[in-house]
Amino acid sequence: MSSVLATIVVVPREQFSRGRLCLDALRERTEGAHPLVYVDGNSPRPFAGELARRADRGELTLARTEHYLPGNVARNLGLAHVHTKYVAFLDNDVLVWPGWLSALIRCAEETGAWVVGPLYCIGGPESEVVHTSGADLAIVEMGGHRRLHERHLRCEEPAAVVRAEVARTRRDEVEFHCLLARTDLFDRLGPLDEALLSYFDHLDFCLGARRAGGTIWIDCAATVTYLVPPPIAWADLPYFLLRWSATWYQSSRARFCATWGLDPDDPAFADHEHYRRAHRARLLSPLSPVSRLLEPTLGRYLESTLVRDLERSRIAAGCGTDPR
């Protein structure tokens, strides 16, 4: 293992155009020198060229494919370049706050945590509105059925209030927007499940880590902000639509249920489906009743045309199996 404790792995979440902001924030707000791996799945040519130039200057290690990548596929590609005690996964539409990585490492070292998450904010670059401070997560027996229980904590509160009241504590679940994990955890669990194309990847990971005997913590001394769309660049639309497609969601739900013995009709999944539809509707006009009316019709059309063709291309490239 290197004397440097952590490697940062940045992966695409739903778009590419925020990647420049993400990288600039990492450079300005990360204390110390840490290896940086950027996994790029078929980003538009201008940004792909910028990534190549940054790699040539030695700013990062670039791992690129010519097809769109599900999150876990991208993270596994990044893991192949990690030779440190910890890996810090970061989505490419997230801005880190100063001191973020030092706080996550310090929490892991002092608590023995296998996984540590920050306080997650959401909005624009200056937003201090909490997206989540982690979640309660369990699979419970109810009426002879295994049910998923998930409850996000301190959502939509001011970050300063949550930071003062929560500080550092154990959680059941943190998110792949940003998290620090022990690299040897993947020797125990194996690689991340690449059949989870767009959903339930963080739930599966956190449940697996806890089942293996590890603990998960959140430390609010570390903060990040998810730059939620809109706006979204036209060149990013195909990937965004594939990421939030019913095709990827339903395949991910089936895989998650098979892994954890859950019923796909579990009422808990209704919230996830609602979020998927609402998030995709942001493309039309945020918070507009018109967008909510148009989204189902437009969504079905996109599923049968653009999303179908994108998924076939991805499968033809050897990334995944045909859900048909």
Residue type at 137 in one-letter notation? L
- 239 and 299 in contact (C-beta within 8 Å)? no
Q: Which helix (H) or strand (E) holds 109?
A: helix 100-111
- The pair of three-digit structure tokens given for residue 309, joined into one six-digit string: 């063709």
Element (H, E) at 41: strand 36-41
Give the mean pLDDT of 46-74: 97
- Average pLDDT in the 51-75 region? 97
Bond preceding residue 191 cis, omega within 30 of 0: no
- Would you state the pLDDT for residue 322? 37
Question: What b/e string do you get for 14-23 counting C-beta neighbours within 10 Å, with b at 16 or more?
Answer: bbbbbbeebb
The pLDDT, as a whole number, for residue 298 is 58
Q: Which residue has the higher pLDDT, 284 or 117?
A: 117
| pLDDT at position 287 | 46
For residue 147, give the nearest of 276, 275, 260 by alpha carbon: 260
**Would the pLDDT of 313 be above 60?**
yes
Q: Alpha-carbon distance 178 to 115, whole Å? A: 11
Distance in angstroms (rounded) separating the CA atoms of residues 137 and 133: 13
Q: From CA 101, how far away is CA 183, in angstroms rounded?
A: 15
Distance CA 128, CA 226 (A): 11
Token digits of residue 31: 């204390």
Is the confidence at residue 311, as pLDDT, over 50? yes
Output the furthest CA–CA distance in the chain (Å, rounded).
59
Calpha distance 287→266 (Å, rounded):
27
| Residue-wise pLDDT tens digits, 218-270 | 999 999 999 999 888 999 999 999 999 999 999 999 999 999 999 999 999 99
CB atoms within 10 A of CB 212: 11
Query: CA-CA distances (angstroms) from residue 211 to 27, 190, 218, 253?
Result: 35, 13, 18, 20
Predicted local confidence at residue 321, as pLDDT: 45
Q: 299 pLDDT band (50/70/90 cuts)? A: low
- Among the listed residues 55, 61, 75, 60, the one whose alpha carbon sits nearest the alpha carbon of residue 12: 75
Tell me what the pLDDT averaged over the chain comes to.
92
Which H or E element spans position 65?
Answer: strand 61-65
The predicted-structure confidence for 7-42, as pLDDT tens digits, reads as follows 999 999 999 999 999 999 999 999 999 999 999 999
pLDDT band (50, 70, 90) for residue 143:
confident
Using the predicted structure, report yes or no on whether residue 133 has a pLDDT greater than 70.
yes
Contact indicator for 239, 280 with CB cutoff of 8 Å: no
Half-sphere CA count of 184, side-chain side, radius 13 A: 7
Q: Is the pLDDT of residue 132 over 90?
A: yes
What pTM value is reported for the model? 0.92
Coil/strand/helix, residue 74: helix
CATH 3.90.550.10 fits 6-226, yes or no: yes
Peptide bond into 231 cis (omega under 30): yes
C-alpha dihedral (76, 80, 85, 88), degrees to nearest 10 = -40
Domain ranges of the chain: 6-226, 234-316
Query: DSSP label at 156?
Result: T
Residue 162 banded pLDDT, cuts 50, 70, 90: very high
Per-residue confidence (pLDDT) for residue 297, from 0 to 100: 60
